[in-house]
Amino acid sequence: MNTIDLVRMLIRDARSELSADPRISADADAELAACQRRLDEPLQVALAGTLKSGKSTLLNALVGEEIAPTDATECTRVVTWFSRSVTPRVDLTHDGGQHTALPVHRTGGRLRLNLGPVTAERVERLEVGWPSSLLDQYTLIDTPGTSSNSSDVSARTLDFLTPDEGSCQADAIVYLMRSLHSADVALLRSLHEHAGTGRGALGIVGVVSRADETDGGRSASLDAARQVSAQLRTDRQLAGLHRDFIPVSGLLALRGRTLRQREFAALARLAALHPDEREAALVSPGRLMAADLVIAAPDREQLIAAFGMVGIRIAISLIRAGAKDAPALAAELVRHSGLEQLRATLSTRFGSRNRQLKVHSALRTLRSILLRHRSPHTVRVFRSVDRLLADNHCFTELRLLAGLAALPVPEPTRTALDHVLGGRGISATTRLGLPPDTSPNHTRAVALRAIRYWHDQLGEPLLDQPTTRTYQAAIRSCEAILAS
Ligand SMILES: Nc1nc2c(ncn2[C@@H]2O[C@H](COP(=O)(O)OP(=O)(O)OP(=O)(O)O)[C@@H](O)[C@H]2O)c(=O)[nH]1
Ligand SMILES: [Mg+2]
């Protein structure tokens, strides 16, 4: 029986055992039913990070529409679910389970969320349903940024990501930061500890966000953000924590995905100016508004609001480098933004492990339900859940992959471990670095050689514990290839 069926069976067993126990409330069954349903729903991916790290903008860029609020309204203060739906809808749950359908208002292409008289404190769940191919794959969860001077908002986010009781509802997390601060180290540590104790999401993808701003927008490229990302790989503060961060500019990606002809025309006019005239106009938003140009004032305002001065500069340099029309500029903006790399990483890290991440969430949710609704009838189910959480090799791989960047091994060994543990995809050929059409016989032969290789590595003197565990896991991963 595969693990997902095993988990379904355990949930069924738990439901029948608990419903036979008269001391257990009906809530337990509703929670178990929800846990069961989640196994058939898209993966739940939360965007997390400190205040204004660019979470909502990145969410919009991924979806390709402005549905997550980025202005300072009540809505940016609550955890919001964005899930697939045939027609747009906004559902609010508040004040002890009351449901209200909120109106779907769009102005200038943006969804305007308005909680009406309900304050953020009274919100239990805010869910936006939207037709989108990305949301068919993932349910995205926008979390309010954590900060030291908004303790109630931070508390809501932390309660969602790293709850004191129960388990985090997200299956995976995209963690955004502009540069490394102590608040990021603390939040990443807490996320890892939760994952380590079986209460938090195992999958984490890191992002150096707002990457166009990294060097004050001087170079009109994301090189500075790439350097930050490379430095993070060896940063001591992140010892034992996630260190792989992809540079992404959510804003450029969003502008690319929603570019209008009018915006392109205004940018093209700026690109065609004499360099001296252009530089003078781009000194500040005020200068751009005041400059003597054949671009209507509302169009200039729109450019400044949508792109920012850094974004305008980058768009101009892309036009000057050859993006001749709106579709070409849109494509260049997206390419330049790093969004494609992020999407590819989400797909290898989360998409291909979709089932494993969901099974992990289901097991930890089941565990926390059984702990909250204790019954002598469910001891057997509880033990099985614990065994599965501890022994499942896929979960071990995910935990080790998260710590790989911190392992004291040479770079080629780290890359080989990343492959073999499934960090680049979980097919046998990807794990062994072989072309996809390699014959099964040759794949087995290479897997056998890999087992011998990792055994030899284990023989190295003075290996530390984490490296030993990782080599042992690599051997198990190769054995699993042989067994399949
Ligand atoms: N230049 C630039 N600005 C960005 C980028 N992403 C977001 N911003 C700006 O940064 C500000 C905050 O962006 P949000 O997307 O609301 O950030 P957030 O992390 O959701 O903020 P909170 O939810 O309040 O924590 C807005 O003014 C955005 O326009 C980016 O990639 N580049
Ligand atoms: Mg936000």
Please give the Cα distance from 278 to 473 (Å, whole number): 58
Whether 210 lines ligand 1, by a CB cut-off of 6 Å, is: yes
**Of 11-25, 187-201, 418-432, which gets the smallest average pLDDT?**
187-201
Q: Quick one: pLDDT at residue 219? A: 65
For residues 51 and 266, give the distance between their C-alpha atoms in angstroms, rounded to a whole number.
32
Greater confidence (273 vs 224) lies with 273
Residue 186 has pLDDT above 80, yes or no: yes
List the shell of residues around ion ligand 2, using CB closer than 5 Å: 55-56, 76
Mean pLDDT of 390-410: 85
Closest CA to 420 of 386, 443, 389, 390: 443
249, pLDDT greater than 80: yes
Instruction: Average the pLDDT over 30-52 and give the result.
Output: 94
pLDDT score, position 276: 94
Give the separation between CA 262 and CA 208, rounded to whole angstroms. Answer: 30
Centroid of ligand 1 to alpha carbon of 389 (angstroms):
37
If you average pLDDT over residues 145-159, what whole number do you get?
Answer: 83
Q: Is the CB of 195 under 6 A from ligand 1?
A: no
**b or e along 19-29 (b: 16 or more beta carbons within 10 Å of the residue's beta carbon)?**
eeeeebeeebb
Distance 136 CA to ligand 2 centre (A): 22
Whether 67 and 60 have beta carbons less than 8 Å apart is answered as yes
Q: What percentage of the chain carries pLDDT values higher than 90?
A: 67
Q: Can you give the pLDDT at residue 314?
A: 92
CA of 143 to the centre of ligand 2 (A): 7
Answer whether 310 contacts ligand 1 (Cβ < 6 A). Answer: yes
Percentage of residues of the chain with pLDDT beyond 70 = 99
Q: For residue 436, is pLDDT > 70?
A: yes
Does residue 174 have its Cβ closer than 6 Å to ligand 1? no
In whole angstroms, what is the distance from residue 438 CA to residue 429 CA?
7
Task: Give me the DSSP letters along 131-192.
Answer: --HHHHHEEEEE-PPB-TT-HHHHHHHHHHHS-SSS--S-SEEEEEESS--HHHHHHHHHHH
Q: Is 83 in the pocket of ligand 1 (CB under 6 A)?
A: no
Q: Is the pLDDT of residue 102 over 90?
A: yes
Q: Is 53 in the pocket of ligand 1 (CB under 6 A)?
A: yes
For residue 6, is pLDDT > 80?
A: yes
Tell me what pLDDT residue 136 has.
95
Q: Stretch 142-160: mean pLDDT, rounded?
A: 85
pLDDT the model gives residue 89? 96
- Give residue 26's pLDDT band: very low, low, confident or very high (50, 70, 90): confident
Average confidence (pLDDT) over 14-42: 91
Query: Which tens digits make up the pLDDT trace of 288-305?
Result: 999 988 899 999 999 999
The domain 44-252+340-353 belongs to what CATH superfamily? Answer: P-loop containing nucleotide triphosphate hydrolases (3.40.50.300)
pLDDT beyond 70 at 61: yes
- Residue 220 — very low, low, confident or very high, per pLDDT cuts 50/70/90? low
As a whole number, mean pLDDT of residues 275-295 equals 93
Model pLDDT, residue 471: 97
The residue contributing the CA closest to ligand 1 atom 21 is 52
Q: Nearest C-alpha to atom 32 of ligand 1 is from which residue?
A: 210
Q: How far is the CA of 67 from the centre of ligand 2 (A)?
A: 11
Mutation choice for ligand 1 from 50, 51, 52, 302, CB with most ligand atoms inside 8 A: 52
pLDDT of residue 321 exceeding 70, the answer is yes
Identify the DSSP state of 66: B
> Which ranges of 69-146 would DSSP assign to H, the alpha helix?
133-137
Count of other CB atoms within 10 angstroms of residue 159? 14
Q: Is 336 in the pocket of ligand 1 (CB under 6 A)?
A: no
> From the CB of 50, is ligand 1 less than 6 Å away?
no
> Which ligand is closest to the CA of 146, given by its number?
1
- Ligand 1 and 70: CB distance under 6 A: yes
Q: Which atom of ligand 1 is least distant from the CA of 254?
A: 31
For residue 230, name the pLDDT band (cuts at 50, 70, 90): confident
Q: Where are the domains of the chain?
A: 44-252+340-353, 258-336, 407-484
pLDDT at residue number 217: 67
Residue 407: per-residue pLDDT: 84
Closest to 254 measured CA to CA, from 61, 54, 66: 61
Strand 80-84, strand 138-142: pairing? antiparallel
Which residue has better confidence, 49 or 192?
49
pLDDT at 151: 79
Q: What does pLDDT average to over the chain?
A: 91
Sheet holding 43-49, edge to edge: 98-102, 89-94, 123-130, 80-84, 138-142, 43-49, 172-177, 203-208, 245-247
